[in-house]
Amino acid sequence: MKFRGNFVCQPRAGPAESRPTRPFTPRPSATGSLFMSNQHFVSPDLIRQGFSRAMSDMYREEVPLYGALMELVAEVNAQVLERQPALARHLQSSGELQRLDLERHGAIRVGSAAELATLARLFAVMGMQPVGYYDLTPAGVPVHSTAFRAVHEAALQVSPFRVFTSLLRLELIDNPELRSFAEQVLARRQIFTPQVLELIQQAEAAGGLDAEDAERFIRQALETFRWHHHATVTAAQYASLSAQHRLIADVVAFKGPHINHLTPRTLDIDEVQRLMPARGITPKAVIEGPPRRECPILLRQTSFKALEESVAFTDQAQSQGSHSARFGEIEQRGAALTPKGRELYDRLLNAARDALGDFPNEANAQRYNQLMQEHFREFPDSHPAMREQGLAYFRYFVSETGLAARNQPQRPTTLAALLAAGHLSAEPLVYEDFLPVSAAGIFQSNLGDDSQSHYAGQSNRQAFEAALGRPTLDELQLYAQTQQRSLEHCAATLGLPAL
């Protein structure tokens, strides 16, 4: 990794601190800059935080409904925190409360290996690495994907911004003429500004960017994700790409990989879903992911339909065409599951879907919710049970009692005994990633149900990683490492050899 150890302002919120993690706010310097300039390089985490804000501002301007959604989510989150003081305390001690308003993910789709590889370098400047491999072809969407995000708990605390990034699998287009047309169009476009390419190179060579360059980087990087009103193909070419798959037209026919949604995190997705229609937002019928529970797990998501936007094709003087790509989405995040927990989740989800016998849709939504509730009764719904059965990852904290008893000879020394005596507490790790079945549901609802295709292609992680120019990281390993670091920190604080 290029960036090592010289981060500025990295808040090292020790997991063993019993007092709540402090919210992190960068102080503006004398020049009004977002970044501290007392050291040479700006922390990649702060660049990511600044970029995430700039992206949100841009999207709010481009898609007014996003602004309305953000307001609704903020209102519901405030109500939940007021009504559930225990939840507020949990979120405070895990540090999630402090990052809640900053939290969002976006999604883009790119068309070639070269574009993906450069994106990986662009995201690395902001401390984001490719985590996980998602194959969407079994769901009839000709892409495979990864999520660029920060990987260390301290970095996630500064900005948990993530980008679900998909690469179009042109090899799955069965019409050879259309395939080579798409390849040619993609080969001709440049989705990065010359300045951002220079800044990426500079960051790689020098090991970082100073405050001024970091701000220029944010402005220039943003250009890649902007919406372009002018298409790069004729109306007829657009129509034939779209006839193959609407997603292919979305990737190939435009100047760049416009950000297609930006998703805030809510503490009560059912409540936001219920209130959406009154704000002029119509959500999809079914919430993706696990059912509602006392102790949320993984990720629940719902989206609203893409907007029809006017576009100008190359053979048209004015905006006579239209295209729909951009949509809205909300999500509720819960505990990260261990391989055992994930297996149980997948089994119960599949069983509920098998019992439904069809893709969840408007007509069968009620029955689907009922089936999900029934099947998921098998998944323990309390943190102690999930912890004892090894279903979720946790972070451990030393309590005041634990600190006070540190020097007593009779104190407990095993993890279970320390937890039972209240010397340690445990908070589940928040799930930072995505779910392939849910992502397929989100893709489909926004592309229209008529766009389901069947692809013979195999899942091809190797080809994806070759295009990316590096391997993707295993998210389960990242959670296990965070859990392990917290155990080590607790052991050190209590003066115990290991836990």
Binding site residues, ligand OOG, CB under 6 A: 107, 109, 164, 166, 260, 301, 329, 434, 438-439, 442-443, 446
Give which of ligand OOG, Ni ion, none residue 439 binds (C-beta under 5 to 8 Å, depending on kind): ligand OOG
Question: Using N-to-C axis directions, what is the helix angle for 194-206 and 113-125, rounded to 10°?
Answer: 60
Dihedral of alpha carbons 259, 1, 157, 420, sign: positive
Q: Which is nearer to Ni ion, 141 or 415 (CB)?
A: 141
Q: Which does 394 bind (CB under 5 to 8 A by kind): Ni ion, ligand OOG, none?
A: none
Q: What is the DSSP string of 432-447?
A: -S--HHHHHHHHHHHH
**Nearest Cα to Cα of residue 209 among 337, 46, 399:** 46
3-state helix, strand, coil in the chain (%, to 5): 50, 15, 35
Q: Which is nearer to ligand OOG, 98 or 166 (CB)?
A: 166
Which entry of Ni ion, ligand OOG, none binds 444, CB below 5 to 8 A by partner kind?
none
Structure tokens at 28: 């503006």
Q: Which is nearer to ligand OOG, 333 or 387 (CB)?
A: 333
Query: What residue 166 binds from ligand OOG, Ni ion, none (CB within 5 to 8 A, per partner kind)?
Result: ligand OOG
- Give the nearest distance from C-beta 314 to ligand OOG in angstroms: 25
What Å distances lie between residue 239 and 49, 173, 321, CA to CA?
A: 39, 15, 10
The gap from C-alpha 373 to its chain's centroid, in whole angstroms, comes to: 25
Q: Tell me the C-alpha distance between 304 and 285, whole Å.
A: 9
Strand 129-135 to strand 143-149: parallel, antiparallel, or no bridges (unpaired)? Answer: antiparallel
Measured from each CB, the residue nearest to ligand OOG is 439
Smallest gap from Cβ 446 to ligand OOG, in A, equals: 6
Nearer to ligand OOG, 109 or 395 (CB): 109
Residue 330 binding partner per list Ni ion, ligand OOG, none, with a CB distance cut-off of 5 to 8 Å that depends on partner kind? none
Q: Which residues pair with 302 in a beta bridge?
A: 330
- Choose between 164 and 304: whose C-beta lies nearer to ligand OOG: 164
Residue 434 interaction partner, one of Ni ion, ligand OOG, none, beta carbon < 5-8 Å per kind: ligand OOG
By beta-carbon proximity to Ni ion, the closer residue of 97 and 107 is 107
Cα separation, 122 vs 199, whole angstroms: 9
Give, in order, the Cα–Cα distances in Å from 396 to each of 38, 150, 191, 410, 423. 34, 21, 44, 21, 10
Q: Which does 486 bind (CB under 5 to 8 A by kind): Ni ion, ligand OOG, none?
A: none
Residue 443 CB, shortest distance to ligand OOG, in Å, is 5
Report, in Å, the least distance between residue 70 CB and ligand OOG. 16
**Cβ count within 10 A of residue 416:** 11
162-168 sheet: strands from edge to edge: 129-135, 143-149, 162-168, 104-110, 261-264
Q: How far is the CB of 432 from ligand OOG (least distance, A)?
A: 12
Least distance from C-beta 136 to ligand OOG, angstroms? 8
Residue type, 411: R
Minimum distance, C-beta of residue 347 to Ni ion, in the bound complex (Å): 24
- Residue 493 interaction partner, one of Ni ion, ligand OOG, none, beta carbon < 5-8 Å per kind: none
Closest distance between Ni ion and the C-beta of residue 114, in Å? 25
Contacting positions for Ni ion (CB under 5 A): 107, 263, 329
| Between 42 and 141, CB nearer to ligand OOG | 141
State the residue for tokens 């408007």. Answer: 362
Q: Which is nearer to ligand OOG, 261 or 383 (CB)?
A: 261
Q: Which two tokens stand for residue 285?
A: 């019928």
- For residue 218, the minimal CB distance to ligand OOG (Å) is 22
Specify the DSSP class assigned to residue 369. Answer: H
